Amino acid sequence: MSIIEKAVNALGKGDASRDSAKGGTGAHDNSAQDASTVERAAESVTENVSENISENISENKVSSGTDYNAEPETRIEPVTAAPTTPSFSVHADGYERSSIISDKYLKLNFEELRQLGLLTPNVPRSAIAEEFRTIKRPLISNINGGDSFDPIKYGNLIMVTSALEGDGKTFTSISLAISIAMEQDKTVLFVDADTAKAEAGRILGIPSDCPGLIDVLEDDNVDVSDVVLRTNIEKLRILPAGDLHTHANELLASDRMRQLMIEMSEAYSDRVIVFDSPPLLLTTEAAVLANFMGQIVFVVSADMTPQHAVTQAVEHIGEDKMVGMVLNRARRRSNPYYYTYGEVYGYGRNRQTGGAEAG
């Protein structure tokens, strides 16, 4: 019998029992008769639901198949459809949204990031950690220079981009930033420069209304130091995307942006700035950002990104830029130049609508 049918039957029995107990007379009897049918039905449904849950818990399961003996603090919640993009709570480990903004501190949830396949410093000897060591070495060499070559101008400004959405550029940019932050002599500023989507910020648990890059570009009174977030990775700082702005492209192409890039590049000799950029073929912001960069990491998804899309996207990058290709989601082969970087999370939600888009 369904919960609704039980509720209806219980409602009828409840009426009869009330009439019998109270004899149908007196002020209390009138109150009972005047009680809302909806209220009584709700009470019956609650009683029956509690009864059903108790029966199921005694069998160590509920209708959704969840094991309630596995986690003592597990709460019973309705089953909902899985989101198309990963969802994070910024309240992880007790950190409230307000404390992130006021204290300018973000505690990254390493376990959630690891479950998504991202690199985390608490597992330094993992396969993905080794793969990103291979990726970052030439980038760091270009920053430092060597015996036979000079450092690349503004080589510590590294933009991670792709041709299309879903190629894995946000996955790559976050893991690359964390990997470089694990170096002994490097600090990293991770910039969520995909201002229309802010997918990196969402993955990392940053509130969508947290001030960031756009606020610095729009207001001369806002300094980068006012909006940069410290993290529980000692050498990693994060500059969020900031406010959603209709003229984001113009702000990113402004003289203030150019000056900001130069200042961030030259302020600290050990600093590496990693930018998560929009895809080159979907927005004009990526091509604008590329003009300011010393190095560009171009992410290609194996068996997914069309060759013509790669060719067309690279044409948006100036010939004077150092461009390195990263093959994402490739199957492991005997050839050491093939790597697999776990699951790729797509271009993400649209900040205007707040909805989810398939990656």
pLDDT band at 142 (very low <50, low <70, confident <90, very high): very high
User: What is the average per-residue pLDDT within 328-332?
Assistant: 78
Mean pLDDT value of segment 67-89: 41
* Residue 343 or residue 340, greater confidence: 340
The residue with greater pLDDT, 309 or 89, is 309
Per-residue pLDDT for 162 more than 50?
yes
Tokens of 81: 């459809």
pLDDT at 101: 53
Label residue 79 by pLDDT band (50, 70, 90). very low
Confidence of residue 262 (pLDDT cuts 50, 70, 90): very high
pTM: 0.67
The SS3 call for residue 187 is: strand
When pLDDT is averaged across residues 140-162 and rounded to a whole number, the result is 94
- Count the Cβ atoms, other than its own, within 10 Å of residue 232: 14
Phi-psi region of 205 (alpha: psi -120 to 50; beta: other; left: phi over 0): left
For the beta carbon of residue 263, count every other beta carbon within 10 angstroms: 10
CA dihedral 114→118→122→123, nearest 10 degrees, is 90
Model confidence pLDDT, tens digit, residues 86-130: 333 334 433 343 346 557 999 999 999 999 999 999 998 899 999
Mean pLDDT of 39-63: 44
Give SS3 for 194. Answer: coil
Residue 314 half-sphere exposure, CB side, CA atoms within 13 Å? 17
